[in-house]
Homo-oligomer: A and B are copies of this chain.
């Protein structure tokens, strides 16, 4: 963890003051191959990084730069965008034109269809004219355990949302192999409040959200369509899911509890565990737990791991998949760095923390 040399790949980080940016910089700082070559922001331009984030001092106390296209393209090999939805797509086309590759944390390139994005992110889309239909179709959905080859060649990687990450990882092996029914899938997710970002909002105050649990955006949360797009692409059929997010009084962590029906009701939890283990055998960021051990989000806090467990109700052939991640690392910045690794020809988890601190 001391000084590291030979950081040969230059990464620009744009949008540095939110949780996505902070986590990205935290992880890049200790990565052996990436150098933070440019630090840019809109609202924070001109501020000293170490004043803004005294908990994460950077060497030489850099000033956050204004977003200057020529400077960015000049100084960086890849750009990591940690910007609000609708802003990222203002910048990305220009970067791509200059042959700079982009890893985007926002939702702007998660949909293959620009029309669908517009219909779902209507508030953001109304503010901005976007004509990058082509870029949408070229962008790669950045779930590295499934799309590693595409990511390695991508111009734009659209990093998945935190809920889709935790929900897709356990579901995809079963849908891909046709082990579960494609209808009736229910995803009940629980997230810490850092998922709501760093911009102050009343419902995210400790005084409001502590000592309480609540559902929100029941039916129609934006991540529903994102999950459905990926599951439909994978299975070749049009999949509709039920997705309910809940706010839980903790800072970090996200748990998805997924309910589905086995096509063959005789499959056991051990069988299902084998399915998961086989698919994720070579993925250091996914760990399958023994049957009967259930994932605790604290076990993966501050790591890039997804911890997955499976149980089966043998009375009715229902399978329950449970998946825990750190929403800001595996659910956001860590997964983005997996893409950066792949795009740079590095092992997918290089430089990423896989063991946390407990308790």
Binding site for B on A (CB under 8 A): 1-2, 19, 22-23, 26, 29-30, 53-57, 183-184, 186, 188, 190, 192-194, 196, 198, 200-202, 204-216, 218-219, 240, 242, 244, 246, 248-253, 255, 257, 259, 289, 293-299, 301-302, 311-313, 315-316, 318, 320, 322, 324, 350-359
Contact = CB atoms under 8 A, between A and B. Distances in A.
A205 B198 contact: yes
Contacts of A312: 219
Given A207-B192, A322-B215, A255 B251 contact: no
A246 B257 contact: yes
Given A54-B293, A208-B359, A289-B54, A246 B255 contact: yes
B257 A29 contact: no
B55 A358 contact: yes
A243 B359 CA distance: 27
A186 B56 contact: no
A253 B296 CA distance: 19
Task: Name which of A26, A30, A183, A359 has the most chain B CB atoms within 10 A of its CB.
Answer: A359
Nearest to A269: B219
Taken together, the copies of this chain in the complex come to 4
A311 to B, nearest CB: 4
10 A-B pairs with least C-beta separation: A212-B298, A200-B200, A214-B296, A55-B299, A188-B188, A206-B206, A194-B207, A207-B359, A218-B311, A55-B358
Contacts of A253: 211-213
A251 B211 CA distance: 7
A315 B200 contact: no
Contact of A200 (B29, B30, B205, B249): B205
Nearest to A329: B357
A208 B359 CA distance: 6
Contacts of A242: 259, 313, 316, 318, 320
21 contacts: A2-B350, A26-B357, A55-B358, A56-B355, A57-B355, A186-B259, A194-B207, A198-B359, A204-B206, A206-B251, A210-B251, A211-B297, A212-B250, A213-B248, A214-B295, A215-B295, A216-B294, A242-B313, A244-B320, A248-B248, A248-B249
Contacts of A313: 219, 242
Contacts of A190: 190, 213, 246, 248
